[in-house]
C-alpha cells in the first residue's frame, strides 16, 4: 500500500487508473457474475503493475493451465481469454509507462523483430475494416504479441537468471498439474476398478484440468523442461525435472491425439539423435552422416509407437461408438479453403474469418462435428492472403535462422545446447499449428517470445567476445 501511495503517477498512469475505476463502478452498480469478473480484473491489474515479478509468477502459473475453465455461480469463465487480457493490459501498460518515462526504450528490442509484426498487423487491420475480419481475433493477436515481444523483454526478463525463472514457472506449474492429474487418474481406477471413465475424459471437470490442457501445452512444457534440464547443474534438480517430464508425457497420452504424440516423440527423437554425446551440436552437411544411423533406429521406434497408439485411439473410439472421419473432413476443409482463397488471394478476408467465409458449418454437419481445417497454412492464406502468409513465414524463418546462426557460431557448449533446444521448441510449436488452425494462438506466440528473449539477453555477451551473431 505504501508503494502505491508514494508512487508518482504521470498522465498515462492516471488514465489507466480511471480505466480501472470503471471496472469498480461496474462491480458496485451492476452487481452480477460479470461485475465480479470486472472487480477481479481491476485488482489483478494493479498487482501486476506495481509488483511485476509477483504478477509474472501468478499470471504464467495460471495461464499455463490453458484448458482450465471454472464454473462460478453458474457463470463459466474461460480463464485463457480472461487472464490473457489482464496480462496484456497490465504488462503492456507498464511497458508503455516505462518507455514514456525513458526508463526503458523501444530500441531495447531489435526493430527487425517488431517491423514484420507491424506489417502483419496492417494486413489484419485491412481485413477487419474492409473484409470479414473479427476484431476479437485481431486484439487477441496484438495482446499476445505485445506481451511476448515488448512487455516481457522490456520489463521483466533482463538476464539469464530471469529467463530461467520464467521457464521454471511455466514448466513446474504444468508439471505439478500433470502429476496431480495422474494421481486423480489412479484414484479413479482404484475406486471404480475399471478404465471406463477414460472413454469420456473430455467431460471430466471434477479435477480442474480438462481435455484441452493435455495437448499442445503439454508438448511445449516438455520442450521447456529439456531446456531447464540442460541449464541445471544439480543432479537432484535434473531428477525432479525428469520426473515431471515423465508425468507430462504420460498425461499427454490420454489426449488420444496423434498430432500431440508425434510432436512429443519428435522432441525425444531429436534429443536422442543430437545431444546424446557431450559435444557441440553441428547441423552442417558434413556432420549429418553421423546422425543418419541413429535416425534410422529412432524412426523405426517412432513408427512402432505411433501405430500402436493409433490402434489404441481406434479402440477408444469404438467403445465410444464414434467413427473417425477427421481425414475426410480435413480434405473437404482444404478443398473449400482453396476455393475461398482464390476469390481473395492477395490480402484475404481478415483474422478469424476462416469459418465464416468457408462452408465449415455444412462440413461439420456432414461429418458429425469436425471442428476445422486443422491447418495454419489454410487459415493464413484465407484470412491474410499471400502477403500475410509470406510475412508470417518470414517471422518464423528469420527467428529460426538467428537461433541456428547463434547455435553454430557459439563456442560455449552450454549456449549451443540452449539455442538448439529453443530451435526445437519453436519448430514443435509451429509443427503443432500445421495440424491446428490458429496463427494468433498463445501456444505459438509465447515460444516465439521465449526465443527472442534469449537472443536479446545474450546480445551483450556476444559483443563482448568479439563477434555479432545478429
pLDDT value at residue 432? 80
Q: Which three cell numbers stand for residue 422?
A: 529453443
Average of per-residue pLDDT across 258-272: 82
Return the minimum-mean-pLDDT range out of 283-292, 302-311, 314-323, 360-369.
314-323
* Cα of 110 vs its chain's centroid, Å: 22
CB-based contact 452:153 (threshold 8 Å): yes
pLDDT value at residue 241? 92
- pTM given for the model: 0.74
Considering only residues 109 and 120, tell me which one the structure prediction assigns the higher pLDDT. Answer: 120
Considering only residues 306 and 68, tell me which one the structure prediction assigns the higher pLDDT. Answer: 306
pLDDT value at residue 78? 46
CB atoms within 10 A of CB 12: 14
- In percent, the amount of the chain with pLDDT more than 70 equals 49
pLDDT interval class at 346 (50, 70, 90)? very high
Q: What is the pLDDT of residues 374-431, one digit of tens each?
A: 678 888 888 899 999 999 899 889 989 999 988 888 777 888 888 999 999 999 888 8
CB-based contact 52:91 (threshold 8 Å): yes
* Cα of 213 vs its chain's centroid, Å: 12
Half-sphere exposure of 250 (CA within 13 A, CB side): 16
User: Is the predicted pLDDT of residue 206 greater than 50, yes or no?
Assistant: no
Considering only residues 280 and 267, tell me which one the structure prediction assigns the higher pLDDT. Answer: 267
Secondary structure of residue 292 in the 3-state scheme: helix
Considering only residues 18 and 276, tell me which one the structure prediction assigns the higher pLDDT. Answer: 276
Non-local (6+) Cβ contacts of 245 within 8 A are 175, 222, 225, 226, 229
Closest of 84, 44, 41, 48 to residue 64, by C-alpha: 84
Average of per-residue pLDDT across 267-295: 73
CB-based contact 228:171 (threshold 8 Å): yes
User: Is the predicted pLDDT of residue 198 greater than 50, yes or no?
Assistant: no
User: Is the predicted pLDDT of residue 283 greater than 90, yes or no?
Assistant: no
Average of per-residue pLDDT across 237-241: 90
Q: What is the mean pLDDT of the chain?
A: 69
Considering only residues 355 and 408, tell me which one the structure prediction assigns the higher pLDDT. Answer: 408
Beta-sheet strands, E only, within 206-253: none
Burial of 176 (0-12, 13-18, 19+ CB in 10 A): middle
pLDDT value at residue 453? 80
pLDDT interval class at 2 (50, 70, 90)? low
Amino acid at each position: 500500500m505504501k508503494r502505491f501511495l508514494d508512487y508518482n503517477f504521470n498522465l498515462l498512469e492516471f488514465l489507466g487508473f480511471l480505466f480501472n475505476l470503471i471496472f469498480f463502478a461496474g462491480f458496485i452498480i451492476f452487481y452480477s457474475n460479470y461485475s465480479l469478473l470486472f472487480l477481479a480484473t481491476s485488482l489483478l491489474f494493479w498487482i501486476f503493475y506495481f509488483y511485476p515479478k509477483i504478477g509474472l509468477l501468478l499470471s504464467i502459473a495460471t495461464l499455463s493451465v490453458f484448458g482450465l475453465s471454472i464454473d462460478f455461480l453458474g457463470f463459466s469463465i474461460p480463464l485463457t481469454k480472461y487472464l490473457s487480457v489482464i496480462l496484456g493490459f497490465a504488462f503492456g501498460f507498464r511497458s508503455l509507462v516505462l518507455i514514456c518515462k525513458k526508463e526503458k526504450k523501444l530500441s531495447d528490442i531489435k526493430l527487425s523483430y517488431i517491423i514484420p509484426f507491424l506489417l502483419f498487423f496492417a494486413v489484419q487491420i485491412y481485413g477487419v475494416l474492409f473484409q470479414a475480419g473479427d476484431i476479437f481475433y485481431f486484439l487477441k493477436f496484438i495482446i499476445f504479441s505485445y506481451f511476448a515481444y515488448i512487455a516481457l523483454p522490456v520489463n521483466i526478463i533482463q538476464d539469464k537468471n530471469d529467463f530461467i525463472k520464467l521457464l521454471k514457472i511455466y514448466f513446474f506449474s504444468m508439471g505439478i498439474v500433470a502429476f496431480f492429474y495422474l494421481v486423480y487418474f489412479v484414484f479413479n481406477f482404484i475406486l471404480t476398478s475399471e478404465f471406463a471413465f477414460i472413454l469420456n475424459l473430455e467431460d471430466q471437470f471434477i479435477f480442474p484440468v480438462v481435455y484441452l490442457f493435455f495437448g499442445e501445452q503439454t508438448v511445449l512444457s516438455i520442450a521447456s523442461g529439456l531446456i531447464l534440464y540442460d541449464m541445471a547443474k544439480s543432479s537432484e534438480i535434473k531428477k525432479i525435472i525428469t520426473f515431471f517430464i515423465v508425468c507430462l508425457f504420460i498425461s499427454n497420452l490420454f489426449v488420444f491425439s496423434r498430432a500431440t504424440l508425434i510432436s512429443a516423440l519428435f522432441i525425444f527423437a531429436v534429443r536422442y539423435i543430437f545431444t546424446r554425446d557431450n559435444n557441440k551440436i553441428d547441423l552442417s552437411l558434413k556432420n549429418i552422416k553421423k546422425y543418419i544411423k541413429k535416425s534410422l533406429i529412432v524412426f523405426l521406434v517412432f513408427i512402432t509407437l505411433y501405430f500402436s497408439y493409433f490402434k489404441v485411439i481406434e479402440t477408444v473410439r469404438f467403445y465410444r461408438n464414434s467413427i473417425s472421419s477427421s481425414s475426410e473432413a480435413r480434405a473437404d476443409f482444404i478443398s473449400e479453403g482453396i476455393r475461398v482463397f482464390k476469390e481473395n488471394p492477395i490480402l484475404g478476408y481478415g483474422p478469424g474469418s476462416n469459418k465464416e467465409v468457408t462452408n465449415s458449418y455444412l462440413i461439420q454437419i456432414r461429418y458429425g462435428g469436425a471442428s476445422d481445417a486443422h491447418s495454419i497454412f489454410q487459415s493464413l492464406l484465407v484470412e491474410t492472403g499471400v502477403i500475410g502468409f509470406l510475412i508470417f513465414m518470414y517471422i518464423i524463418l528469420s527467428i529460426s535462422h538467428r537461433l541456428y546462426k547463434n547455435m553454430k557460431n557459439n563456442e560455449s557448449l552450454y549456449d549451443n545446447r540452449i539455442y538448439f533446444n529453443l530451435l526445437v521448441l519453436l519448430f514443435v510449436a509451429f509443427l503443432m499449428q500445421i495440424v491446428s488452425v490458429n496463427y494468433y494462438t498463445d501456444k505459438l506466440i509465447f515460444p516465439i517470445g521465449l526465443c527472442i528473449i534469449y537472443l536479446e539477453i545474450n546480445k551483450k555477451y556476444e559483443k563482448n567476445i568479439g563477434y555479432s551473431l545478429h
